[in-house]
């Protein structure tokens, strides 16, 4: 078998394919009417599935992973069905571009329904009014500054939402939700449109000039390739698939029937329980303690991460734990949150520096894009027109954000700083995903904490503080960030029948449908079962974290935090230093993104699985060379596909039987 097809590989056209003008047009666009219609049917189904399994049953957590689980499962079923159609009725079988179009649209829709976007919005939008009491003093502290048109305060509507057993589709209830959801929807669509514009501007540099590897697209590209029959006939692929499937079946049956065997160490296994003596027990503090896992999907995806990054991820994670031990031994670590070694501040500085380095490194290219867009440089008028529209989109989007912020009661300069930090972090995460494909659960980093540490209460003011913490719901964690998924879609389109402009339209259409279907699913589910009655995975902690931190800021009135700013500078300096050394020495083993990931919670679940994958890949490359490495690619793709398949099956069985089933993650 040939190694996995490159995303750049041209679509192979066999002599048996129809060559009519209509068929030629289909091949020219890829974004066909039938592909878009199929995707528009699948997006609400998938988004409702995500909402049911993550909000109601707290199972699968498929949108917490860098590669979403349920879209891969849907693509797997489509691809297998399509292979069958190719045999019996080839004229109606979907082409590769159409399969990828459907997949990309489903993924973009899923970003809205995901763990870190609309689910979080429903965890915050009514929290302050529903949970306000004399003890927390929410009403007296910040209700006067809340953007009331964007919050739900009606007692009857909130009672039904949290307790369930109420029909939400009455005007009395819907009129309460329509306004706030519309305003937040406008904000989300502006941000996602600006991300699309940024991706249009950087696309050629990252996908064509630098040829970044985009590890996460390897599986969907191979599943839909013109040689997909070889992939599905490969014994190594089915070997990896079968191994992951057996693990998921055994552990899944144990979840239902505890007397059955269970395979330890696959999911989070607490090795910190064996480390009880001081100062070594400091490794259990912070983050997710000290645990190991060997998720099959992580080992499979880790095989496509460059060795220097995978090494850096687990090395810096262990280094982080050793620094905690040093702090405990020296008496610097008091064992309380946000103290030495101040990893929340270090990770903030690291990610801001990483974003700054990326922007600076692409500045020359971006100036060339500007000249091409507005001065006529270059020989591609269509590309220049697209760049020009992207720049206009960024400008209009920025003005709309400032206008919306003013309507919400936020000062213009605060909005510029806030959304500027957000977009810098977005660019950094998109680059890390494109180059390295690793998880980016950077829970420690958000514009709110950065601004409070740098500017303090007096400069920001209580009204602006209230507004920025009201937007914590889309900054709590960035696991399902839209921007990396957009750029990965651009990369998957290369070498296929998918053209850029129709694809942009399809992705934005999927975004709108994903937003509306996510609204519907969350409202229907919570009013039926109750956000706090039966919804095990309801994101109440998002609202709790948002308004408790706001409450704390308003009571303590923090000033400029010199210590945290200093540790932010330390994090930034380490990233810049690692970047400089990486550029100066060939074979330098430490990647700056590895440090940023290791100190920002992203590695807490995955470090040991990435270590296992790194070790296996190192041995394979060293003793078998790239030929053996490429030969084994299907096995590791099979690990991912098998784990996602069995996880999706359990996520179907659970809701159907009304029980909580095995989760392949966490």
Instruction: Classify residue 184: in a domain, yes or no.
Output: yes
pLDDT band at 28 (very low <50, low <70, confident <90, very high): very low
Structural domains of the chain, count: 1
Question: Is pLDDT at 558 greater than 70 in this prediction?
Answer: yes
Please report, for residues 177, 226, 553, the alpha-carbon distance to residue 148 in angstroms, rounded to integers and kept in the order given: 12, 53, 20
d(CA 111, CA 514): 8
- The answer to whether 5 and 221 are in contact (CB under 8 A) is yes
Phi/psi class of residue 376: alpha, beta or left (left: φ > 0; alpha: ψ in -120 to 50)? left
At residue 29, the pLDDT reads 62
Q: Which secondary-structure segment (H or E) carries 455?
A: helix 447-460
Question: Is pLDDT at 16 greater than 50 in this prediction?
Answer: no
| CB half-sphere exposure, 497, CA atoms < 13 A | 25
Question: Is pLDDT at 26 greater than 70 in this prediction?
Answer: no
Instruction: Classify residue 7: in a domain, yes or no.
Output: no
Question: Is pLDDT at 4 greater than 50 in this prediction?
Answer: no
Mean pLDDT of 334-354: 83
Instruction: Classify residue 1: in a domain, yes or no.
Output: no
Mean pLDDT of 335-362: 88
Mean pLDDT of 14-32: 50
Greatest extent of the chain over all pairs of C-alpha atoms, in Å: 77
pLDDT in tens, 275-285: 999 899 999 98
Locate 198 and state its tokens: 């940024």
Task: Annotate 416-453 with b (16+ C-beta within 10 A) or e (fewer).
Answer: ebbbebbbbbbbbbbbbbbbbbbbbbbbbbbbbbbbbb
Question: Structural domain of residue 633, as residue ranges?
Answer: 32-657
Sign of CA dihedral 442, 447, 450, 456: negative
pLDDT in tens, 479-511: 999 999 999 999 998 878 788 999 999 999 999
Instruction: Classify residue 15: in a domain, yes or no.
Output: no
Instruction: Classify residue 499: in a domain, yes or no.
Output: yes
pLDDT band at 229 (very low <50, low <70, confident <90, very high): confident
Instruction: Classify residue 14: in a domain, yes or no.
Output: no
Strand partners, 269: 292
Instruction: Classify residue 234: in a domain, yes or no.
Output: yes
- The answer to whether 213 and 488 are in contact (CB under 8 A) is no
At residue 307, the pLDDT reads 93
For the CA atoms of the chain, what is the radius of gyration? 25
At residue 340, the pLDDT reads 84
| CB half-sphere exposure, 407, CA atoms < 13 A | 14
At residue 335, the pLDDT reads 55
Average per-residue pLDDT for the chain: 91
Question: Is pLDDT at 27 greater than 80 in this prediction?
Answer: no
Residue 479: which of 69, 186, 151, 76 has the closest Cα? 69
Q: Which residues are CB-contacts of 564 (< 8 A; sequence separation ≥ 6)?
A: 342, 344, 345, 453
pLDDT band at 338 (very low <50, low <70, confident <90, very high): low
At residue 337, the pLDDT reads 55
Locate 431 and state its tokens: 């680059």
pLDDT band at 569 (very low <50, low <70, confident <90, very high): very high
DSSP 8-state code for residue 444: T
d(CA 102, CA 99): 5
- The answer to whether 316 and 578 are in contact (CB under 8 A) is no
pLDDT in tens, 89-112: 989 999 999 999 999 999 999 999
At residue 339, the pLDDT reads 77
Instruction: Classify residue 505: in a domain, yes or no.
Output: yes
Locate 466 and state its tokens: 């209230």
Strand partners, 291: 270
d(CA 214, CA 199): 14
- Alpha helix locations (H) across 213-342? 218-224, 228-233, 235-256, 296-302, 307-330
Mean pLDDT of 386-391: 96
pLDDT in tens, 171-197: 999 999 999 999 999 999 999 999 999
pLDDT in tens, 578-597: 999 998 998 899 999 999 99
DSSP notation for 64-102:
GSSS-HHHHHHHHHHHHHHHHHHHH-GGGSPPHHHHHHH
Q: Residues of the chain with pLDDT > 90: what percent?
A: 82
| CB half-sphere exposure, 305, CA atoms < 13 A | 33
Question: Is pLDDT at 6 greater than 80 in this prediction?
Answer: no
Question: Is pLDDT at 378 greater than 80 in this prediction?
Answer: no
Locate 195 and state its tokens: 């991300």
Per-state percent for the chain, helix, strand, coil, to nearest 5: 70, 0, 30
């Amino acid at each position: 078998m040939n190694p996995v097809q490159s995303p750049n590989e041209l679509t192979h056209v066999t002599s048996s394919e129809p060559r009519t003008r209509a068929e030629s047009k289909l091949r020219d666009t890829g974004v066909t009417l039938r592909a878009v219609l199929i995707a528009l049917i699948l997006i609400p189904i998938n988004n409702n599935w995500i909402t049911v399994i993550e909000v109601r049953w707290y199972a699968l957590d498929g949108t917490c992973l860098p590669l979403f689980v349920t879209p891969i499962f849907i693509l797997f079923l489509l691809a297998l069905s399509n292979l069958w159609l190719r045999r019996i009725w080839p004229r109606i079988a979907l082409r590769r571009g159409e399969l990828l179009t459907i997949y990309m649209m489903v993924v973009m829709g899923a970003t809205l329904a995901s763990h870190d976007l609309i689910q979080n919005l429903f965890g915050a939008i009514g929290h302050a009014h529903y949970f306000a009491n004399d003890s927390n003093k929410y009403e007296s502290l910040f209700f006067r500054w809340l953007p009331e048109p964007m919050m739900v305060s009606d007692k009857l509507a909130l009672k039904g939402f949290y307790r369930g057993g109420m029909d939400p589709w009455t005007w009395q209830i819907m009129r309460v939700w329509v306004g706030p959801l519309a305003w937040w929807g406008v904000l989300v669509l502006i941000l996602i449109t600006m991300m699309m514009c940024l991706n249009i501007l950087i696309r050629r540099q990252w996908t064509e000039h630098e040829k970044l590897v985009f590890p996460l697209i390897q599986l969907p590209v191979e599943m839909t390739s013109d040689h997909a029959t070889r992939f599905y006939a490969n014994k190594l692929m089915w070997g990896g698939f079968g191994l992951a499937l057996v693990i998921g079946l055994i552990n899944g049956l144990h979840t239902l029937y505890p007397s059955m065997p269970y395979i330890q160490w696959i999911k989070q296994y607490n090795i910190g329980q064996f480390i009880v003596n001081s100062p070594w027990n400091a490794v259990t503090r912070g983050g997710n303690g000290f645990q190991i896992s060997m998720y099959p999907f992580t080992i499979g995806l880790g095989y496509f991460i460059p060795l220097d990054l995978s090494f850096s991820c687990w090395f810096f994670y262990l280094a982080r734990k050793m620094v905690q031990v040093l702090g405990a031994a020296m008496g610097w670590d008091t064992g309380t949150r946000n103290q030495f070694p101040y990893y929340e501040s270090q990770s903030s500085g690291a990610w801001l520096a990483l974003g700054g380095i990326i922007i600076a490194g692409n500045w020359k290219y971006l100036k060339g894009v500007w000249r091409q867009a507005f001065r006529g440089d270059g020989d591609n008028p269509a590309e220049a027109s697209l760049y020009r529209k992207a720049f206009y989109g960024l400008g209009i989007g920025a003005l709309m954000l400032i206008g919306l912020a003013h309507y919400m009661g936020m000062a213009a300069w605060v909005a510029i700083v806030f959304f500027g930090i957000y977009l810098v972090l977005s660019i950094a995460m998109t680059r890390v995903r494109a180059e390295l494909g690793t998880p980016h659960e950077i829970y420690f980093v958000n514009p709110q904490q950065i601004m409070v540490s740098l500017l303090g209460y007096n400069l920001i003011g209580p009204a602006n503080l209230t507004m920025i913490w009201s937007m914590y719901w889309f900054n709590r964690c960035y696991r399902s960030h839209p921007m990396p998924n957009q750029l990965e879609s651009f990369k998957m389109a290369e070498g296929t029948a998918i053209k850029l402009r129709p694809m942009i339209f399809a992705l934005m259409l999927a975004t709108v449908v994903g937003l509306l279907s996510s609204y519907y699913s969350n409202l229907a589910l919570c009013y039926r079962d109750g956000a706090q009655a039966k919804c095990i995975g309801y994101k109440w902690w998002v609202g709790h974290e948002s308004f408790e931190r706001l409450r704390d800021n308003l009571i303590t009135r923090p000033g400029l935090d010199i210590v945290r700013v200093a540790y932010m500078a330390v994090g930034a300096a380490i990233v810049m230093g690692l970047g400089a050394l990486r550029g100066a020495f060939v074979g330098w083993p430490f990647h700056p993104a590895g440090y940023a990931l290791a100190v920002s919670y992203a590695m807490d679940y995955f470090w040991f699985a990435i270590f296992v994958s790194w070790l296996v890949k190192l041995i394979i490359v060293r003793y078998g060379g790239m030929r053996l490495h490429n030969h084994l690619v299907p096995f590791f793709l099979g690990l991912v596909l098998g784990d996602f398949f069995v996880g999706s099956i359990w996520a179907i069985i659970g809701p159907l039987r009304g029980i909580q089933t095995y989760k392949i993650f966490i």
